[in-house]
Chains A and B, each alone.
Chain A
């Protein structure tokens, strides 16, 4: 059993969360675990790019080396069966299945056609299935898109801006940039036959890139939505620029002010909408902020059940639960300390977070970014200052705007 299943770091020092988190949760009569509703299925464990910030291949966890390159047909069927089992047990109306990697499209169109068929056939008896795929965009061929169209698979694409910005990090193993290939894939995705499949584009932030140029480049992809992702890091391995002002907040605020102030809504931006909704009293819609319980789970190519894949940036085996679809129901993961911690809302925040005026919205930021060797995840985010600045800016913008709202006639 992986050390992280016992709340231990790679150095076997007890870190938070440990089993006491689970005992406290179970003793809390007002709390019940929230079922998983989103499943990230790693159909392929290798990638055709060599992005230097990749949490799968370039950071603390290297477990990909010991796992199969492709999820076997048997593991795929078992995963689908487990999702159905879970959906039935919890009477779920809808489940999201996201084909992921590595690079999911390296599994090939025939494999993905079969994967979609397996998921639909197995799960639809219990719940409606929404299929999605996340890709670097390079293998978005006509043949692949026909498969996606037939199976109604929504497509998300990673792109970091224009060629200069994108090719800083998202390169082939030989150092060549991938931007041109991504644009070609996006061009095919925008065709009338497939544009309804276009979900979102995601940009990993590099504060050396101009934010408005990055925003404009993503806008030009024609995606109906986008988001800007904080590069993964933690207190032991901080992202670039951390510790000197609030460079990430400043970067995002430049885009927010432009987007928010536009006379018509140019696109949807997940992080900004999430914060706006929470400022107005709504609930968090994704796990990067807010206090809503995290309800997704990852199944790796060997069937191993993992908490969230970007925990790989923290330490070796950080996402591991010790569970596998071939031997365990997903309900078993609901009792894992790491899963419980990400469903406990305020009870999982450190004292620093609880004393912060924006903690209800920030929610401590992305769980992965709170890691510090020795104490685990009971810390503020390594992005704390940036998150606070961003939330306060959006909050204050809305508060200043509200008095100008007209009453309904």
Chain B
């Protein structure tokens, strides 16, 4: 189980500071974006950024190096990235991807029960 840890950078995330749009980070899905971010980070987070680069660019060697590091940040998943993911072998994760994609602004919190 990878160790969790404090992330040195915040990733783009859809959760709101309610009432205010969250300030968007520069995309880290581009190679330039990743390396710019990495210069500001600790070695641990830099390894994780390389891992993200590997995920989205297929950099096998980089991924191999990065897997030894802890994965401590939230995945940087744009809607397009999420939508491009095929059905995962893991049904719980696949279902979560489907829910996130299907959720609209009208999705509301529940106290009991589930959305129909």
Contact = CB atoms under 8 A, between A and B. Distances in A.
Interface residues of B, number: 53
Interface stretch (B16-24, B25-33, B36-44): B16-24
A286 B111 CA distance: 6
A335 interface: no
Contact of A293 (B13, B18, B75): B18
Interface in A120-162: 130, 132, 134, 154, 156
Nearest to A32: B19
Interface in A394-409: 395-409
A68 interface: no
Given A154-B113, A156-B112, A396-B2, A405 B85 contact: yes
Contact of B96 (A280, A296, A360, A399): A280
B113 A156 contact: yes
A132 to B, nearest CB: 5
A291 B79 CA distance: 20
Interface in A371-409: 392-393, 395-409
Nearest to B94: A265
B27 to A, nearest CB: 14
Interface in A75-104: 93, 96, 98
B77 interface: yes
Contact of A346 (B18, B77, B85): B18
11 contacts: A28-B19, A265-B92, A278-B15, A280-B100, A282-B96, A282-B99, A287-B109, A396-B3, A401-B90, A403-B55, A403-B67
A38 B55 contact: no
B84 A295 contact: no
Contacts of B6: 357
Interface string A258-289: 01111111001010110011111111111100
Given A96-B110, A132-B112, A345-B16, 4 more contacts: A132-B113, A281-B82, A291-B18, A396-B72
B71 interface: yes
Contact of B114 (A270, A278, A295, A395): A270
A301 interface: no
Contacts of A397: 1
Contacts of A278: 15
A259 B114 CA distance: 18
Contact of A360 (B13, B19, B110, B112): B13
Report the 9 A-B pairs with minimum CB-CB distance, sorted nearest first.
A345-B18, A31-B19, A392-B4, A282-B100, A276-B96, A281-B14, A399-B71, A265-B91, A408-B86
A360 B15 contact: yes
Most buried by B among A281, A283, A397: A281
B13 A399 contact: no
Contact of B109 (A132, A156, A292, A360): A292
Interface string B63-74: 100010001111
Given A98-B111, A200-B114, A405-B85, A279 B75 contact: yes
A204 interface: no
A221 interface: no
A97 to B, nearest CB: 11
B86 A407 contact: yes
Given A282-B99, A402-B75, A403-B63, A287 B111 contact: yes
A290 B14 CA distance: 12
B61 interface: no
A395 B97 contact: no
